[in-house]
Structure 1
Amino acid sequence: MVWLVLVGIGLLAGSIGALVGLGGGIIIVPSLLYLGTSTNIIDELTPQVAVGVSTLIMIFTGLSSTLSYLKHKVVDYKAGLIFFIGSAPGGIIGAYVNKNLNAEAFSLYFGIFMVFMAIVLVKNRLKPMLFKPGKGKIVKTYKTENGHSFPYGYHPLLAVLISFVVGFSSGLFGIGGGALMVPVMMLLFFFPPHMAVATSMFMVFLSSITNSITHISLGNVNWPYAFALIPGAWFGAKLGALINTRLKSASLENMLKIVLIIIGLRLIYQGITG
């Protein structure tokens, strides 16, 4: 019974995580905590262990979805590595600073911020400014299978600085970096929705490796539960990536907005109730 429930959670987390580029931790962590405190299905876990298990699972979610997106050529590996250079140290510093902050208050503020980002995640009028020639700027064009072209671009140094802030915020509030990085890539660098999600999952894969090493060294991983979650997360990620590639850009963007609003409202609720 326990294994079936955990496989199901892994499948759901992998599917949704790969579909919108969030990784799946936003589902795994609250699910484990709920099952441990409100049911007799699994033993009660500390928040640290729940996060540690989730981080380990996201290695497999990230790898599985990245391999699937690779077939459709929608992963910008160079951009993903550049963003990772900033987000990795930012996440570590943010997690450290988190220990000295009022978690409830910041969950409230961050939840409001997430809802705000969902609202503003629409076409803006800064695109013409972005693609003016500039020293050191990387400008690319993504072409869909239907022949539509989507130009996007970024300056490497600016990308590192922004991803550092994103990583810091993610570590500070204890939420996956994809929840912030996907809308940032779309709003500031004008990544097409499909490429933003796929590149985010590549980053999730990289960051989960580094973060898992820390959690494993601290003993924050319940291995039996992790092994039960991995199969569902692996195949769920493939399912999410498959659905993603069959959605239109507008549909994917709308789905991302809905997920961000749900996450934001959940954080607001946590901040209010403590």
Structure 2
Amino acid sequence: MEDLSFLSLGLLALALVATGVVAGIVAGLLGVGGGIVIVPVLYYMFTALKIDPSVLMHVAVGTSLATILATGTSSARAHWKRGSVDMDLLKTWWWAIAIGVIAGASLAGNLSSGALTAVFAVVALVVAANMLFRKEGAALAQKLPGSPFKEIIGALIGGISVMMGIGGGTLGVPALTLFNYPIREAVGTSAAIGLIIAVPGTFLSVYFGWGAAGLPPFSLGYVNLIGFLLIIPASTLSAPLGARIAHTIDPSKLKLVFALFLGITGVRMLYGVFF
């Protein structure tokens, strides 16, 4: 990693704090844990700092998961207070999501940085297209299927999300709305799912990255403590603002914002993989 001037370090710190503010608002607004903002920002920052490409995406994902521990807690709490978290669903779904997280984190630990980036980009684009082009009110069924299909859905949400370094909303929101969940309840429940993903995901990121070559300074495995400590305060404080906005705007506009974030992020990341 190249040496940085004091000014460059100051600008980097400012950018990380600003990222935390935006990530917190997005977490509260869309239930995505902020990772959809944090992962690509960290990816490009670490690229500029010439972090070893072999661990670059792993560190972006691991650090993002760590920040969701705080951001997700703040966002989920705000939605729970407003009654938009389906606790009955979480009580029967959490273990399947957790199993998916363990499997996904184990797979991610053995994938290349480029492969992880491609996973992030492709899934983001697919979900964005679903949200943009699916007809209003279109659903596969009026409720989630019974066992074992409900558990399989939960495991997929957990596994793919942990590989992307994001909260449960990126897949949880479209999955739940596909089974006729109201958008606000889907967002609130997905914010809570983000915690189920982030807790084991963070510890596994530390485990699989422990002693890896090329890690940036002040890292615990694939979790960079500088990024974590700068993003956390700003994102935690701004998450309730996003939750308040989510309960005041038109649900159709909420879907549009969600899709735009995913689409823009997916295109940028996919471009980085191939160009």
Coarse TM-score class (shorter-chain normalised): 0.7 to 0.9
1:117 equivalent in structure 2:
130
Please list, as runs of the form range in 1=range in 2, the aligned pairs for 1:83-102 lying within 5 A after superposition.
83-98=93-108, 99=110
| Aligned partners of 1:194 and 1:249 also within 8 Å | yes
1:180 equivalent in structure 2:
171
Q: CA deviation at 1:64?
A: 0.2
What are the superposed Cα offsets for residues 4-26 of structure 1, whole Å, 9 maximum, x if unpaired? 33221111111112211211112
1:29 equivalent in structure 2:
39
Counterpart secondary structure, 1:34 = helix
Structure 2 stretches of 5 or more lacking a match? 1-9, 211-220
| Aligned partners of 1:57 and 1:226 also within 8 Å | yes
Is residue 2:157 matched to residue 1:155? no
CA distance in 2, matches of 1:221, 1:172: 14
Report the AA paired with residue 254 of structure 1.
L
Aligned alpha-carbon RMSD (Å): 3.0
1:239 equivalent in structure 2:
241
CA distance in 2, matches of 1:263, 1:36: 16
Query: CA 1:231–1:245 in 2, change beyond 3 Å: closer, same or farther?
Result: same
| Aligned partners of 1:59 and 1:209 also within 8 Å | yes
Query: CA 1:59–1:265 in 2, change beyond 3 Å: closer, same or farther?
Result: same
Report the AA paired with residue 100 of structure 2.
G
CA distance in 1, matches of 2:119, 2:199: 26
Counterpart secondary structure, 1:46 = helix
Please list, as runs of the form range in 1=range in 2, the aligned pairs for 1:31-180 lying within 5 A after superposition.
31-38=41-48, 46-98=56-108, 99=110, 103=115, 109-110=122-123, 112-124=125-137, 126=139, 130-131=141-142, 154-155=145-146, 157-171=148-162, 176-180=167-171
Report the AA paired with residue 54 of structure 1.
S
| Aligned partners of 1:118 and 1:261 also within 8 Å | no
Is residue 2:188 matched to residue 1:198? yes
CA distance in 2, matches of 1:31, 1:22: 15
Report the AA paired with residue 14 of structure 1.
G
Is residue 2:27 matched to residue 1:17? yes
Report the AA paired with residue 259 of structure 2.
K
| Aligned partners of 1:95 and 1:168 also within 8 Å | yes
Q: CA deviation at 1:76?
A: 0.7
CA distance in 1, matches of 2:144, 2:122: 30
Report the AA paired with residue 76 of structure 1.
D
| Aligned partners of 1:114 and 1:264 also within 8 Å | no
Counterpart secondary structure, 1:246 = coil
What are the superposed Cα offsets for residues 22-63 of structure 1, whole Å, 9 maximum, x if unpaired? 1111211221232233269x9998332222221110011110
Using the size of structure 2 for normalisation, the TM-score is 0.77
Counterpart secondary structure, 1:74 = coil
Is residue 2:179 matched to residue 1:209? no
| Aligned partners of 1:81 and 1:203 also within 8 Å | no
Q: Which has the higher contact order (CA 8 A, sep 6+)?
A: 1
Using the size of structure 1 for normalisation, the TM-score is 0.77
Structure 1 stretches of 5 or more lacking a match? 132-151
Q: CA deviation at 1:202?
A: 0.3
| Aligned partners of 1:8 and 1:232 also within 8 Å | yes
Q: CA deviation at 1:175?
A: 5.1
Is residue 2:231 matched to residue 1:229? yes
Query: CA 1:177–1:267 in 2, change beyond 3 Å: closer, same or farther?
Result: farther
Query: CA 1:34–1:106 in 2, change beyond 3 Å: closer, same or farther?
Result: closer
Counterpart secondary structure, 2:136 = coil
| Number of aligned positions between the proteins | 249
CA distance in 1, matches of 2:204, 2:130: 30
CA distance in 2, matches of 1:113, 1:89: 23
| Aligned partners of 2:33 and 2:167 also within 8 Å | yes
Q: CA deviation at 1:162?
A: 1.3
1:139 equivalent in structure 2:
none
What are the superposed Cα offsets for residues 238-262 of structure 1, whole Å, 9 maximum, x if unpaired? 1111111111222212222222322
